[in-house]
Structure 1
Amino acid sequence: MEPERVQEIANLSKETIPEEFIRTTNEQPGLTTVQGTVLEVPIIDLSDPDEEKVIQDVVNASRNWGMFQVVNHGIPEDTIRRLQEVGKVFFELPQEEKEVYAKPAGSQSIEGYGTKLQKEIQGKKAWVDHLFHKIWPPSEINYQFWPKTPPSYREANEEYTKHMHGVVDKLFRCLSLGLGLEGHEMKETLGGENLVYLLKINYYPPCPRPDLALGVPAHTDMSSLTILVPNDVQGLQACRDDRWYDVKYIPNALIIHIGDQVEIVSNGKYKSVLHRSIVNKEQTRISWPLFLEPPSDLEVGPHPKLINDANPPKFKAKKYSQYCYCKLNKIPQ
């Protein structure tokens, strides 16, 4: 049987990579990355006592960049390190142990261990394996997709989740106030206490031809916000003026992406960021994006207070599940 997991393919690939991983010339990082320039996306200190300044910084970054990094966010370094440690241990398990957590065939849910995620144009494949599982709210958690090895996996994830709530609330409050809404309204519109925290671990093994392959092709996130922890191997790129740049990592920062649902609720004032990930020849890159998603049957559209004759709605309201279905199957929204 042909290996289908990228980790196995990587172990067999020494000089070249299989044809289906070679991107078209307009996507190949070797040809499309602006070399020698690192994008210094805005860095925001969440502990700054000047709340007005924090709000303004979040608003400017969300309008002009669609992404920013937050420091002094209140999640202990140790908590993040443990999250990274247990995720790395899972991906280093023997293949058959990981397959226990594989996404069931024909499952409508995204949860589980896997490789393929969405319909890929021209049948191209991404150089990445992943694990998805929900970490909040408790009613949404399905522990069958949480690794039992290492034994501390669950505790490390629960600890991370516990500290994450404060960051989530602060970000939504800033985004909300920045639109002239009340502090709680943005989060409430996206599901409030039922907002789903979907964790993904991306595992990008070393690739002999990182100039030809992509870890994840260009996309915007379907979620409302994405909060990402990378390991120290550079790989995130953002699109600026139709060109691709490496995003500079800051130690212990969280990388925030504005997702499609926040762009929709803000009626286009905040911009969902177009990004992709590249791979490395010698090193394994791992990242932990946390997608903050509306409940699947919640209808999301521009916030009514932002709509008037001068500002007609730019997006159709639709159920989040329907939005995801269209996006993953490349159906126009």
Structure 2
Amino acid sequence: MASAEHHPFEFQTALKDLANSANLKAVPSKFNFINDSTALPCDSLPVIDFSAITAEDPDRRSQAINDLSNACQEWGLFILVNHGIPEELMNATFTATREFFSLPESEKKKYEAKSASDPINCGNFNVADTSNQIFTLWREYLKLYVHPDFHCPNKPHLLSDVLREYSERTLKLTRKLMEATSDALELERDYVEQVLKLDSSLQILVANLYPPCPEPGKAIGLPQHTDPGLFTFLIHNGVAGLQIEHNGQWFNPVSPQNSILVNVDDQLQILSNGRYKSVKHRAVLNSEKERISIVVANGPSGEAVVGPATPLVQKDGRPLYRSMRYVEYLETQLTKSRMNGKSLLEQRMI
């Protein structure tokens, strides 16, 4: 399957109505993206017990940190359990975002993005594949910048409170996971906090709606990509659709109820000087059920200049990646993520 890059913004917001129309038997041509979504089942993903990472027992914590490090090296993805976020809150995020997607188009149009950096935007956009063919994603989304400043639509009335609480809780989890990875990489915690400016870390929440698609092999929710930040958290409404790449093969990850799928992102691969792997993943479609996913992308501060950690460069003898300000990395990925067939992460390699 060809990788894709973001194209200058051309938004489509009527997908939900289109998908619900009774006479829709085929995918309209503008969504046409032929893809093979074949993937193997995968029930052996690393499972990380968050309560062990925060345990007072040093042996239990040490084992959990070792397990976390292995997961970041080998898979770039793990299942987080015993994380302390109530299942009721997780379910409430689906209820509130479904209500948002069900608002009249006139209400949602208030939040159509004019640029990639708008703190609230929704809709859908066209992308270009590596042959520069333009197509539209079979996806409607709501994207919010939620830290260091919280932004959210004022309707539906439950949305703001629910997403604020969920973002705050996931931010705390991320700080603890970054402490654990710092220990695993034998880095000082204050080194990571200072270099990445974690007090003002940039956190983006995206709610994705993937309606049933009459021809799932002729459209795509999201083409293969990696995420730009440190750790990305994903939960979904019980309908599968996420696929991950591991050793050149695509897999369907299976996660237990109330768990969180966490994937390693580009900045953590760069910071670790290549020890940890940013995982390629994609969102595929089905013809029967609506899928909702809530994604929280946890990054450094937008102003942080991210490069390989100096102590790791000293160990390795050289840096494997060029440094770049995180906000510039984000803007580049959103506007022109590929150059000469290379992803932005590959372009940063020395």
Return the TM-score normalized by structure 1: 0.89
In the alignment, does 2:130 pair up with 1:126? no
Question: What secondary structure, in the 3-state scheme, does the structure 1 residue paired with 2:243 have?
Answer: strand
CA distance in 2, matches of 1:130, 1:268: 31
Is the counterpart of residue 40 in structure 1 residue 41 in structure 2?
no
Percent identical: 30
- The alpha-carbon distance between structure 1 residues 67 and 106, as it changes in their structure 2 partners (threshold 3 A), is closer
Deviates more, 1:254-263 or 1:116-125: 116-125
Q: Does 1:7 align with 2:12?
A: no
Equivalent pair of 1:5/1:115 in contact (CA under 8 Å): no
Quickly say closer, same or farther: Cα 1:21–1:201, change in 2 above 3 A. Answer: same
Q: Aligned partners of 1:267 and 1:72: how far apart in 2? A: 30
CA contact (8 A) 1:198 1:291 kept: yes
Change in Cα spacing, 1:117 to 1:221, as seen in structure 2 (3 Å) is: farther
> Cα distance, 1:211 vs. partner?
2.5
Distance 1:277 1:331, change over 3 A: closer
Label 1:260 to 1:71 Cα distance change in 2 as closer, same or farther (>3 A): same
User: 1:44-83 maps to which residues of 2 (within 5 A)?
Assistant: 44-48=48-52, 49=55, 50-83=60-93
Please report how far the alpha carbon of residue 34 of structure 1 lies from its aligned counterpart in structure 2 after TM superposition. 2.8
1:84 paired to 2:94: yes
Which residue does the alignment assign to 2:337? Answer: 330
Residue 112 of structure 1: aligned partner: 121
Give the root-mean-square deviation of aligned CA atoms. 2.1
Which contiguous aligned blocks of 4+ residues in structure 1 show a shift greater than 6 angstroms? none
Deviation of 1:227 after TM superposition, in Å, equals: 1.1
1:264 to 2:266 alignment: no
Unaligned regions of 5+ residues in structure 1, if any? none
Q: Specify which of 3, 28, 32 is matched with residue 36 of structure 2.
A: 28
> Could you tell me which residue of structure 1 aligns to residue 305 of structure 2?
299
Partner of 2:282: 276
In structure 1, C-alpha distance between the alignment counterparts of 2:217 and 2:244, rounded to whole Å: 16
Of 149, 172, 177 in structure 2, the residue corresponding to residue 171 of structure 1 is: 177
Contact 1:67 1:273 in 2 (8 A): yes
Whether the 8 Å CA contact 1:175–1:186 is kept in 2: the answer is no
Determine the C-alpha separation between the residues in 1 that align with 2:310 and 2:192.
11
Match of residue 250, structure 2, among 240, 244, 249: 244
Tell me the SS of whatever aligns to 1:214.
coil
Q: Secondary structure at the match of 1:82?
A: helix
Aligned-residue offset at 1:20: 3.2
| Alignment pair present for 1:157 and 2:163 | yes
The CA deviation string for residues 185-216 of structure 1, in whole angstroms up to 9 with x for no partner, is 33443221010211011111111111232211
CA distance in 1, matches of 2:175, 2:324: 24
For residues 116 and 39 of structure 2, what CA distance do their matches in structure 1 show?
Answer: 39
The aligned amino acid for 1:43 is V
Report if aligned partners of 1:61, 1:68 keep a CA contact under 8 Å in 2. yes
Sort the Cα spacing of 1:169 and 1:330 in 2 relative to 1 into closer, same or farther, 3 A: closer
Once the two structures are superposed, residues 40-79 of structure 1 have per-residue CA deviations (whole angstroms, 9 ceiling, x without a partner) of 3211111124111110111000000000010000111112
Structure 2 unaligned spans of 5+? 1-10, 340-346
| TM-score of the superposed pair, with normalisation by structure 2 | 0.85
- Contact 1:28–1:213 at 8 Å: present in 2 too? no
Q: Is the 8 A contact 1:226 1:256 kept in 2?
A: yes
CA contact (8 A) 2:236 2:293 kept: yes
Contact 1:172–1:184 (8 Å) recurs in 2? no
Give matches, 1:163-202, under 5 Å. 163-202=169-208
- Whether contact under 8 Å (2:116, 2:331) holds in the other structure is no
One-letter amino acid of the structure 2 residue matched with residue 136 of structure 1 = H
Matched, 1:318 2:329: no
Q: Aligned in 2, Cα 1:285/1:221: closer, same or farther, shift over 3 Å?
A: same
Structure with greater proportional strand content: 2
Q: Which amino acid aligns with 2:36?
A: Q
